A and B are shown apart, each in its own frame.
Chain A
Amino acid sequence: MSENALPKSWNKETKPHKFCPGCGQALALKILGHAIDELGIAQNLIYATDIGCSLLSWDMFNVDTIQTHHGRTVPLCVGFKKAKPGAIVLSLTGDGGGYAIGAQHLLNSVMRNDPITIILINNANYAMTGGQLAPTTLLKQKTTTTPKGREIIQGRPFKGPEMLAQISADDTYIARGISTNYQQLLNMYKKAISNQIDGRGFSFMEVISMCPVNWHTNAQESLDFSEIEMAKVYPLGEIKVPKALT
């Protein structure tokens, strides 16, 4: 038996992890694990999770982990960073926590340019509770609370990175990646974390994910929905890069 293929920073005792088969968030976390390995920061990292599917990763990594109320990971991270400026604070949140209940924290943190890294998983629904409408749900997409598809009266899909880019300082790193593009996402993670390590400022990443269970899709349909449908509405790429990182 050869050695397993898991990232070194993953906690091997808790694997297989709790995510559903084909989950994009698990994939995003695997690539984050590789980024942590390559940067060699596991010893100095504080990992914060939100409520929602991101909570399922509380024992994912072999690093110190904190957890808080729905949407409050950003102020928690800011507080930790203020108390211990040497720590690398990384937060994982969902689209519900970041763009709905915790939106004001995210906005104010960007305005203050706090030196923390936020990774937001966008799977276009509230996955843990059974697939309800989220701020990021696409127009015409069916969820359990919009059985006929999202209509314009329920709001347009929320473009977080674009909005944050408008109010952010020059030293902010803002990007949008997709869980299925390994190399691009790995590079973005490394930039987002090193922006914090170098003490420049706020780093924000949105990761487009897949939710086969709540989308009711098979592997092919999940890939198509995230790589084609979602990427059409949420363009991929780096939105704001500090000069030092270019």
Chain B
Amino acid sequence: MPTKIVLAGEGGQGVQSVAKIIAIAAQKSNKYSSYLPGFGVEQRGGVSLAYLQISSHPIPYPQFEKADIVVCFCSRAVSTVKKFIQKNSLFIYDDSAIDNKSLEKIKSDVTEYLAIPAQKLGREKFTSKVANIILLGGIVAHLKEINFQEFENSILEEFASKIEKKPEIKDLNLGALKAGLEIAEKFDKSKHLFEGVTPPEIKTAFSKDKISWTRFPEYCKGCGLCIIKCPVQALKFSNEIGFLGLPMPEVDIQKCIGCKKCMQICPDGAIKVEINP
């Protein structure tokens, strides 16, 4: 029976790169592997899915309904991977990026899990861009039939053109892989609860005498049109992020004149300006 792995995350988080690296490493270790990317029609902002199979025999069909290993990169992907979870599936997730509310949805289905704080570790020790490779380390720990050396080789191959431009990328990625592997090997399920992060409270409403300015983090895609259209430069990007992981605008309410230009230009309906009589 092939080992079936499904990976899911936001487009741009490196889900497809990880799947490709595993597939190539498996083939170099004389295994059969298949990799099938799956994403929606949207060019930006969809959940990115990868179907991966590794076997010692030829693989008849690249898609599947239930997976042995389910890897989840972000909160939004949790409901996408729910249908792949079966009894004894291993659920690998980033407990520094996925919130408790999303995990609650699959709590009853998951028996085996592995939590890796990839985003947090990436930010602290490497860069947040290698979070996917840290999670790859967690997958590697459960793919003993593939030679560890081959994973390193296929990472170097995948990022060859980037390493050429920036040589430090090589050490960052290889370090991240080892860090992920280390956490996975030390992971003790009995000492770690099935939980993620509690999302920080985001300020949505700003108001002064008659003007109230509201933003909706669940709709904001962070395009920045409102910031440019504001005639008094009252808007700027804040540190809080919207649902796509991009920064959201915030208002300097003292400067706001209540012209509603930002509300009119927002393609997502994420800003509301009201003038109270």
Contact = CB atoms under 8 A, between A and B. Distances in A.
Contacts of B229: 180, 223
A212 interface: yes
A205 to B, nearest CB: 18
A24 interface: yes
B172 interface: no
B117 interface: no
Interface stretch (B41-49, B121-129, B193-201): B41-49
A4 B225 contact: no
21 contacts: A1-B204, A4-B219, A4-B272, A5-B214, A5-B271, A6-B269, A15-B219, A16-B268, A17-B268, A18-B42, A21-B44, A21-B244, A22-B223, A23-B223, A23-B267, A27-B265, A128-B43, A130-B43, A180-B229, A182-B264, A220-B228
Contacts, number: 94
Which DSSP category, helix, strand, loop or mixed, fits chain A's interface?
loop
A2 interface: yes
Nearest to A221: B228
B216 interface: yes
Interface string A12-38: 000111111111101100100000000
Contacts of B157: none
Contacts of B266: 5, 27, 30
Nearest to B246: A21
Contacts of B265: 27, 180, 182
A189 B270 CA distance: 22
B43 A20 contact: yes
A22 B224 contact: yes
A56 B214 contact: no
Interface residues of B, number: 36
A144 interface: no
Given A15-B219, A16-B218, A16-B243, A5 B263 contact: yes
A56 B224 contact: no
B20 interface: no
Which DSSP category, helix, strand, loop or mixed, fits chain B's interface?
loop
Interface in A65-103: none
B41 A128 contact: yes
B138 interface: no
A130 B43 CA distance: 8
Interface string B253-276: 000000000011111111110100
Interface of B: 40-46, 204-205, 212, 214, 216, 218-219, 221-225, 227-229, 243-244, 246, 263-272, 274
Nearest to B260: A182
Given A1-B204, A219-B227, A18 B270 contact: no
A17 B42 CA distance: 10
A204 interface: no
A157 interface: no
A130 to B, nearest CB: 8
A16 B219 contact: yes
Given A15-B269, A21-B244, A218 B224 contact: yes
A20 B204 CA distance: 23
A56 B269 contact: no
Given A6-B269, A18-B46, 6 more contacts: A3-B272, A5-B272, A6-B219, A16-B219, A23-B223, A214-B43
Given A4-B216, A27-B265, A18 B246 contact: no
Given A16-B243, A22-B267, A30-B267, A219 B41 contact: no
A198 to B, nearest CB: 28
Given A219-B223, A219-B228, A20 B44 contact: yes
A223 B225 contact: yes
A2 B206 CA distance: 12
A56 B244 CA distance: 18
- Name the 9 nearest CB pairs between A and B, nearest first: A22-B223, A5-B272, A21-B221, A26-B267, A219-B224, A21-B223, A182-B264, A27-B267, A6-B269
A55 interface: yes
B42 A56 contact: yes
Contacts of B46: 18
Contacts of B268: 15-17, 26
A215 interface: no
Nearest to A4: B216
